[in-house]
Amino acid sequence: MFKNNQLSEILQDPKPDGKERPWRPKKVRSLIIADSYKRLGEEKRANRVKFCGTYLEFTKDTKTGLKFLSGANFCRERLCPMCQWRRSLRAFYEVSTVMDEVQEKHKNLIPLFFTVTVRNCKAEVPELMKTMDSVFKGWNRLLKIRQIERTISGWFRGMELTYNKKTDEFHPHIHALILVDKKYFKGSAYMETAEWVQYWRSAMRIDYDPVCDIRRIKNSPQKRKGIAEVAKYTVKDTDFATADKAFTDRLVSVLSESLRRRRLYAFGGVMKQIAAKFGASEDLIKTGDSTIREDVATVIERYSWRFGLANYVKMK
């Protein structure tokens, strides 16, 4: 039980919409992953994940009470739930920034939300690695098809792996934002979904019709939702950070090996050119909501993770 004075010192970090940022849930699951790495004999990695995010520093707007992250000790491990979350926020920020410039300087281009899939594969290292390799190669071949090359002016793609516990399979697929000329829908270049399916089938060199989805993003809420979809976590931490130690260890082992040195997010075309101006960044602190105007009265608040309390407590 927390004492009253301890409750008042527990980290509360609501977003402008009032929803709490998931600092504690992410940290709790990072400890599950740290324990898994330790059981797998990866002591150094286990320690990095265990102490990831144990220190958080915020700049607080004294008028609104909103906090803006200004410092933290992130480990950057691929399967760390804390870093996965922050990396997803960073990707969302970068894609949003690029799209803002596209809308400002390339008014003839409009975004489409594009998803391409393949059949599920076994949750085993050789099978998952082989399937991911084929999807990435298929994506590169798709972009070189003459009709596709003439249609797409820019793109951002992200790989997602969803896990099916009933079948013990992964479903690798790509979510992408692609830019096409606004004349696309009225010209001869327009393609129905069935045509995109056939192009993807050809690029993947498979003997079945894969599921594909392509749709226009018509307004700002839809654009934000589409960007969130392409910038989401590669694999949900709740899929592999569980109370079942043997199960967790097996998936952590499979994912660690399969995701090693993978480029899971990428830009292309005009979006790549715009992104290059901002420069690639692994900054997990500045994610678009981490800045505050200089003329606003602020205070600095620091929090540390208390292992015994399993929560963040304000430092004196």
List pLDDT tens digits, range 34-59.
Answer: 999 999 999 999 999 999 999 999 99
Topology classification of domain 96-244+261-281:
Alpha-Beta Plaits (3.30.70)
Q: Which residue has the tokens 């208390």?
A: 306
Mean per-residue pLDDT, 85-90: 92
Burial label for 103, CB within 10 Å (0-12, 13-18, 19+), is middle
Task: Please spell the DSSP secondary structure of 245-300, one letter per residue.
Answer: HHHHHHHHHHHHHHHTT---EEEEHHHHHHHHHH-----SS-SSSS---TTS-EEE
User: With bands split at pLDDT 50, 70 and 90, how would you rate the model's confidence at 1?
Assistant: very low
Mean per-residue pLDDT, 265-285: 88
Average pLDDT, the chain: 91
Q: Is the pLDDT of residue 90 over 50?
A: yes
The answer to whether 233 touches 213, Cβ cutoff 8 Å, is no
User: For 19, which DSSP code?
Assistant: P
Q: Is the pLDDT of residue 279 over 80?
A: no
Q: What CA–CA distance (Å, rounded) separates 48 from 6?
A: 27
Identify the CA nearest to 113 among candidates 159, 153, 156: 156
Give me the residue spans of the domains in the chain.
1-76+284-316, 96-244+261-281
List pLDDT tens digits, range 186-240.
Answer: 878 899 999 999 999 999 999 999 999 999 887 667 667 778 788 887 899 999 9
Q: What CA–CA distance (Å, rounded) separates 54 from 74?
A: 8
Q: What is the pTM of this model?
A: 0.90
Q: How many residues does the chain have?
A: 316
